[in-house]
Amino acid sequence: MAEQRPACAGHPHAFDWLRPRIREGVVSAGRRSMIKASVAGLAGLSLPGLLARRAAASPAQAAPSGKSVILIWMTGGPSHIDTLDVKPQAPAEIRGPFGTIETRTPGLRVCEYLPQTAAISDRLTVIRSVDPEKSNHQPNQVFQTGNRQAAPRVNANGAQYPAIASIVAKHHGPNHPAMPASVALNVKDPTHIAWGGYLGKKYDPFDARNVGKLFTPLAGLPFERIHDRQTLRDRFERIERGLDRSGSMDALDDFQRQAIELVTGRRAQHAFDLAAESAEVRERYGDHDWCQQALLARRLVESGVSFVTIDLSNHTSSGTWDTHGDNIPPYGGIWNGLRPLLPVFDRLYSTLITDLGERGLLDDVMVIAMGEFGRSPTLGTQGSTDGRNHWPYVMSMLLAGGGMRHGQVIGESEHDGGHIKSRPVTPGDLAATIYRHMRVPLDTMYLDFRGRPLAAVIDGAPLAELV
């Protein structure tokens, strides 16, 4: 076996060819970047829409609770057999090339490249019986909405089912009025995450991909003139052609001033500025881009964001975890594709959980790590040497935090990891578990474009094992 290099500690990145050390997107170093971020928010109507929602919120809306969610979305579908649902007694073509290690949870073994995660398994729940039927990627909708009908490849209206994050944004809101309710980090392609859909663009996650990048016509605008309404209108005329005018500009008149103050305020600026962290903390997370996204997610929930989604990917096709085979670029297979990712994930995930715990935040912050489906039980699919294909029959996920009962394994797959053996967990179960944590009523309804009511929870209930 090739020598394993520690991740995020000054060694070569798993993604050197993607120039991961170059600062972009979510790194805000000064006032100008935050001004650009504010306009990005205006154009996408994430923040003005947030203010509009607050103004029209019904009395039934839950008060901010301090509860939040971080969804680490492993875009592409990580192999469950080679990570959390190892099969050490299976033949080599099933068990794969990795060894396994013990964890702090009795009877639980995981992949050898997840030692730091194994060391904190008493703070985690591994679910090995998640049912990903109908889930696909590009778009990655089913598990991010909790709805099997949210499958745009086979359902013309599939993209309209709102993200769980958007339901939370509407019915819970942010935990601090100076922050957006939902933020999406590192979005390599808009098909990698779910959006507001039937709820409208104002409940889209705030797309941090836009920070410091979009709407450069405003980059040289003096800070004082940002508050000038006519100047904003003049500048928006240059970019309005590219916006969805039916949904993106409707709140500019009433909420433009508040939105600008929101995103140029000190709290939001400080939350997005990783330079505000001590060198010790930044080093603890590591300098790999994925590690920095995890640190930023912690800063955001600490500052009052209720739901953060990290697109844990580094290319714009189907996702970095889509390990079809070493001879099928750009994915790679289990050895050359998946193996370099695992030490990076291991460090960012274990550091995030430990950091939240040390800061007294873990009971309030629910952390989920998952992708859209599992991988096929037998190596070498699609003519590859060691790839695994999409497998929408069983997958694994990690849950931590949220004041829940952890140090356990829920469910079981068959001996070859091909199907669920016991305790199937549905997308609706995941949605209901999140909503209970966020104090969103489980009987919440919303309307489609024809005014027909739809349920936020479909075929699901909160996971009783976590209570």
Over residues 418-441, the mean pLDDT reads 98
Higher pLDDT, 235 or 352: 352
pTM above 0.75, yes or no: yes
C-alpha closest to that of 340 among 319, 321, 353: 321
Q: Are 232 and 257 within 8 A, CB to CB?
A: no
Backbone angle region of 257, left / alpha / beta, with phi > 0 → left and psi within -120 to 50 → alpha: alpha
Q: Are 151 and 278 within 8 A, CB to CB?
A: no
What is the C-alpha to C-alpha distance for residues 443 and 26, in angstroms, rounded to an integer? 35
CA 303 to chain centre: 18
Over residues 166-193, the mean pLDDT reads 95
DSSP 48-81: HHHHHHHHH--TTSPPP-S-EEEEEE-TT---ST
Residue 182 pairs in a beta bridge with: 307
Over residues 111-129, the mean pLDDT reads 98
The whole-number pLDDT of residue 460 equals 98
Whole-number percent of the chain with pLDDT over 90: 71
Residue 344 pairs in a beta bridge with: none
pLDDT band at 467; cut points 50, 70, 90: very high
Q: Residues 5-55: pLDDT tens digits?
A: 444 444 444 444 444 444 444 444 444 444 344 444 433 444 555 555 555
Residue with tokens 């912690």: 298
The identity of residue 317, as a single letter, is: S
The whole-number pLDDT of residue 442 equals 98
What is the C-alpha to C-alpha distance for residues 179 and 143, in angstroms, rounded to an integer? 25
Terminal Cα-to-Cα distance of the chain (whole angstroms): 41
What is the C-alpha to C-alpha distance for residues 410 and 105, in angstroms, rounded to an integer? 12
Whole-number percent of the chain with pLDDT over 70: 74
The whole-number pLDDT of residue 259 equals 56
The tokens describing 402, both together, are 């949220």
Q: Are 373 and 392 within 8 A, CB to CB?
A: yes
The whole-number pLDDT of residue 268 equals 85
The whole-number pLDDT of residue 209 equals 77
The whole-number pLDDT of residue 400 equals 98
CA distances from 312 to 207, 227, 370, 418 (A): 14, 35, 10, 25
Q: State whether residue 115 is helix, strand or coil.
A: helix
Over residues 323-344, the mean pLDDT reads 95
Q: Residue 450 pLDDT > 50, yes or no?
A: yes
What is the C-alpha to C-alpha distance for residues 77 and 392, in angstroms, rounded to an integer? 10
pLDDT band at 234; cut points 50, 70, 90: low
The identity of residue 184, as a single letter, is: A
CA 361 to chain centre: 18
- Work out the number of other CB atoms within 10 angstroms of the CB of residue 65: 14
pLDDT band at 63; cut points 50, 70, 90: low
C-alpha closest to that of 44 among 219, 226, 259: 259
Question: Which residues, in sequence order, are CB contacts of 192 under 8 Å at separation 6+?
Answer: 73, 75, 137, 138, 139, 140, 311, 313, 319
Higher pLDDT, 202 or 250: 202
What is the C-alpha to C-alpha distance for residues 260 and 227, in angstroms, rounded to an integer? 7
Q: How many helices (H) and strands (E) does the chain have?
A: 13, 16
* Of 160-174, 247-261, 301-315, the least confident: 247-261
Average pLDDT over the chain, rounded to an integer: 83
Over residues 166-184, the mean pLDDT reads 95
* Of 179-188, 261-270, 393-402, the least confident: 261-270
Provide the CATH number for the domain formed by 16-30+65-200+271-466 in this structure.
Answer: 3.40.720
